[in-house]
Structure 1
Amino acid sequence: MALSLTDEEQSLLDRLAAEAIVALTTALIAEPSENPGGTEASTVAVLADACRAAGLRVELTEAAPGRPNLVATLDGGGHGPTLLFLGHSDVVPAGTGWSGDPFAARLVDGRLIGRGAVDMKGGLAAIVAAMGALAQSPFHGRIEFVCTADEEAGGLGARAYVTERAAADDVLGCLVAEPTRLRAVHAGRGTANLDIAVTGKAAHSGRPQDGCSAITAAGRVLGAIADDGERLARAPHPELGPATWNVGTIVGGQGVNVVAADCRLGVDRRLLPDEDIAEVAAGLRERIAELGLPTQATVTVTVDSETPAFATALDAPFTLAVGGALTALGLDPVPRVWSAACDAGFLHRDLGIDSIVLGPGDINSQAHQVDESVAVDDLLTAAKLYALIAHRLLR
């Protein structure tokens, strides 16, 4: 399939080399940034050095002690809009069962293996390579690369970034380098984790009427959650499907001969675009209050973490521009949705930024798994896509 590129575009893409992207990905993997279990500081230090070497201006700010956000900026000539790239520096813990050291990346049959190769140190390296190539080409406006801490857990980095930025009127859009098999994702549900603590009154199991079973009360809370899940199922998003509840953990009681004085539920709530988890939690509290639980039973609903949903219109100029670049490189341009959540949700909700997730590797078959790997060809193609999209939007 003939690629529809101008001579100038082809010259830009010819500056990109797989070897450099592999080398930076390998260096990033070598700095463990497991979350939970460590900090991202050493990974960000390697990334910052690579950005400076590529000609970018680097600023580091701490989202929390030892957990830096990185913002690397490339300014073009004259006035113009801003294009964002977004990624994160943390990885999930490696765990056991690897065929080799998860932090010593190795090449096997054209694939780079190591924790974070897919999610998402390979994507970070592709962004840096693309911006390094763009630094040698004329463009108007600004390109900003944001690498956040704590994406895999509480989103501390993204929350800090949107607070510091405060406004984004000049931003054309944001490309998120999470793994999508190099397919454009224009919308995704968000996620929130809630802790529901139920307290009752202990008593001897021979006289349960002297106590108040927290487990029994929790069972009625579970019924309320299930009923709300049925309500949500009747009002699905046209592309993302319905918001959902999932009760993933239940812990309670101390023995079969004791009326349970406590029970705790761990709950996942998948969010649709523009849903507010505070309002969702308040609605659940109202439904629980309507259950008429015994006066000795108390229920506390706490939001532990949240990543908002995002959605960029199919006909938005940014979506169309990304599709055009995919077509130019002979790739599938059709926008998709996914079930994962990412930091794009914070940019959508708090700054109103259109976002497209587009990155190397497969989130379903590789991310968070033993012997996580990414194809080297995909890393190079991702860098070419990022460079081409930026060139066309800011020329």
Structure 2
Amino acid sequence: MYESPELRRLFSTYSNSKTPGRESIADHLSTLSMAEHRDDTLIVATATDLAVYPGGGAPPQVQGFRINIPGFTELTAISHLGPAIASIVAISLRGEDELWRRDAQRLIDDTRRVRAADGTQLWQESLEITAFEGREERIAAMVDYACAISERYLVRALAEPGYLSPATLRDDLLDGRSTGLPVSMNRIMIATFALYALDFTHRLVNWLDEIRVDWDRTLFAITGRQGRPTAGTSKATTNLARIMHLVSGGRLSVDRIFVAPTMPGFETPRDGDLSEVVAAEEPIRWQLARVMSSAELAPIMYDGYPRFAEPGLYGPDLHVGASSVTEMPRIHGPDDWLTMFTRLRLTLEDPRQLLAAGVTDFVAEQLLEAGNDPMAVTVPGLDGEPYPPVALAAPEQRQ
């Protein structure tokens, strides 16, 4: 391909990101911007960890989240029961009888194993999650119950030809309308997401309070893949932006939050080795400086034209009778089931959304209003729900 050397030189004079010396005009401005923000706190989120760089060359601190904290996998396993059984229904609709029946039996076997291993001791002693103190017995009962009603539905599907369908899934399990379930699977899914949010936010607030983050001078970058390949690519579609904004008490300006799915972060540190985390700071600060410096040109070049306004982190409130939503509506209380269940549908149907984002911001908001006291928060789908202490399935199925 022919390239004019003169025009190529002109192009590179302004912008040449591949030059190690950072000698283009754009690089000069970015270098100045980076220097201006070098002492600002930088918080970086990867898919599994958060790092706080205090600025001024001070060493970072790291804390895990999602799969890197106790209880995440266990709670997610229960929240996956609904989509797992829905997937079995979808497989059956394709006429793959042998496949769906085999998968149904696998799920039955796994739920029975979970019920045999579950109990208050698991949540109280083995996992030992501070934010769950006082709720361990209820959580164990919820897990047992979720496995029992899932097993009951699948056993009937295997035994009764024609029973497995989207309608029976919704009526007999997810909503529980026709069977009169004490607690529906939809509420259980909400509870698992809420419990994760309770633990994560509680840990996060304690950690950041110890560090004493100066929120007015903080940059927050969300790097790499967050969940599905298409998910969490904007501030409105990642629960981390909403949670961090809440945790800061609104002091973290939304225009200082950067969602950067193509920006490399760092791998989870092993054995306390933070060398990769330390090495990541400079390139991340440089990339953010490039973004901020280009945004700085807008008012210089186009003063008098309409300016960009940050979109809200929430969509419009959901109203009874609405047939569709395009963004996350705000939850208005622990009994706002219409909004919470609509959010569950949105997280599945909208490829931009994170699957676990159904109620995380709502729980975080409650927790912060309660002074970071987990017991002062209502966990929707868990607190006040009539989970039976003894599960519905026959005793021999607990062996």
Short-chain TM bin? under 0.3
More contact order relative to length (CA 8 Å, sep ≥ 6): 1
* TM-score, scaled to structure 2: 0.27
Which structure shows the bigger proportion of residues in helix conformation? 2
